Chain A
Amino acid sequence: MNDVRHGTTEELLALRDGEGGAWAKAHVEGCAACAAELYRLEQMRAQLRALPAFAPPRDRWALIAERARRERRQRRFSGGVGLAAAAALAGLLLVAVQGTGLDPLQAETTLKTAMARSQAMEQVLRAVDPDARALDGQAAGVVAELQGRLESLDAELGNPAALANDRVRQAELWNERAGLLSALVDVHTTRVAYAGL
């Protein structure tokens, strides 16, 4: 055969997935090495699919059901007051990045800083050991609201489809996350959540 090169792995994978270009298709028909490699890639996919499933070592359902029930109760209990408290606390502590006019490098730096803030607050919250602290009903409601908003934020951050490459929006979310974590620390330590609102 006269081709000066073989198909790359990426080209052969595209071919395997039914997306290969005309050159790759024609080349593989005349090149035994590439045909063999294509076959190997198909076999590898089949072997990956044939790997056994894992079974969870413990049944987590009871724990999940209980936590889900508790979350629902807390949401109902806290009502609007909790949400207002959460919003106020998060708002007080939030350093929002209103990303107007940031160039890509600035936006990237801002994002890294925001992520670092969030990480730092997470460590502080862990050090506070919230699970070991008893809360009265009102504070528990505020905590539930804050945690609910954290979950929503995490869901948004964990779904970059909506964020695309919007670093500024990502930085806003990470900063908001840091603010919510900070508010959680305050609720667990100083009880400002209900003392001040």
Chain B
Amino acid sequence: MTDTLPLAEAHSLVARAQAGDVSALEHLYRAYERPVYTLARRLTKTPEDAEDVLQETFLEVCRSLGRWRGEGSLWGWVRQIAASKALMRYRREKLRATEVLDDDVAARAGDDVPLRLDLEAALQRLPERTRTVVWLHDVEGMTHEEIAELMGMTTSFSKSQLARAHQKLREWLGGEGAGR
């Protein structure tokens, strides 16, 4: 998404919030709660996880407003925090899981996949990391370099996951295409 707050307004709100103006903080929350929650829903497994990410993100925003340098968009900074929180959750869950790979889960689930899914269902069906990459790149407009940094992976990883996401979406949604 594009930033709903003009940069000048963002600067003003951040300055007021840093000075202790709670209404300015609330204004920031209202401006970004939907995009943060939407991003969190796309990057996490459940609505409850997404709510937690929303809360953790804004608590971090409250703590760290002074770290926003004001150079890029405020949304870009908030989005970075939200994506980090979502990925942190994924990392913890993965640690708890008994080494079951996303790919294995997807492959097993693929056995009984309906012939056609709608886009929403197909997106949800993608392995978490693959879905994260396609969402951050195609919807949020992040570059492969930015995604690689965020995920602690390489740009090649990001590119291959994006390709994989589109191959899966094509497979599940139907559509012609040369064998690739």
Which residues in A have some Cβ–Cβ distance to B below 8 Å? 6-10, 12-14, 33-34, 36-37, 40-41, 44-45, 47-49, 51, 53-58, 60-61, 63-65, 67-68, 71, 115-116, 119, 122, 151, 154-155, 157-161, 163-165
Q: Could you name 26 residue pairs across A and B whose Cβ atoms are closer than 8 Å?
A: A6-B179, A7-B180, A10-B160, A10-B163, A13-B159, A14-B159, A34-B178, A40-B170, A44-B138, A44-B170, A45-B138, A47-B119, A53-B34, A54-B34, A55-B34, A56-B54, A57-B47, A57-B51, A60-B33, A60-B51, A63-B55, A67-B59, A119-B95, A119-B96, A155-B60, A161-B150
Q: Which of B8-16, B84-92, B105-113 contacts A (4 or more CB under 8 A)?
A: B84-92
Whether B120 and A51, one on each chain, are in contact in the complex, defined by CB atoms closer than 8 angstroms, is yes
Cα distance A73–B27 when bound, in Å? 22
Chain A residues in 8 Å Cβ range of B175:
40
Cα distance A33–B26 when bound, in Å? 51
Tell me which residues from 111 to 158 in chain B have a Cβ below 8 Å from any Cβ of chain A. Answer: 119-120, 123, 134-135, 138-139, 149-152
Beyond A6-B178, A45-B138, A56-B54: 13 further Cβ-contacts under 8 Å? A9-B166, A10-B159, A13-B159, A33-B178, A47-B119, A49-B139, A51-B120, A54-B50, A64-B59, A65-B25, A151-B60, A154-B88, A158-B88
Given A36-B177, A45-B138, A64-B55: A13 touches B163 (CB 8 Å cut-off):
yes
Query: Chain A: interface secondary structure?
Result: helix
Whether A160 and B151, one on each chain, are in contact in the complex, defined by CB atoms closer than 8 angstroms, is yes
Whether B166 and A41, one on each chain, are in contact in the complex, defined by CB atoms closer than 8 angstroms, is yes
Chain A residues in 8 Å Cβ range of B166:
9, 13, 41, 44
Cα distance A69–B56 when bound, in Å? 14
Contact with A along B39-74 (1 / 0, CB 8 A): 001000001001100110011101110000000000
Cα distance A33–B38 when bound, in Å? 35
| Closest Cβ neighbor of B179 among chain A residues | A6
Tell me the minimal C-beta distance from B13 to chain A in angstroms: 15
Given A37-B178, A51-B120, A64-B59: A160 touches B152 (CB 8 Å cut-off):
yes
Whether B95 and A115, one on each chain, are in contact in the complex, defined by CB atoms closer than 8 angstroms, is yes
Task: Tell which of B54, B62, B85 has the most Cβ of chain A within 10 Å.
Answer: B62
Tell me the minimal C-beta distance from B45 to chain A in angstroms: 14
Cα distance A113–B149 when bound, in Å? 24
B104 adjacent to chain A (CB < 8 Å): no
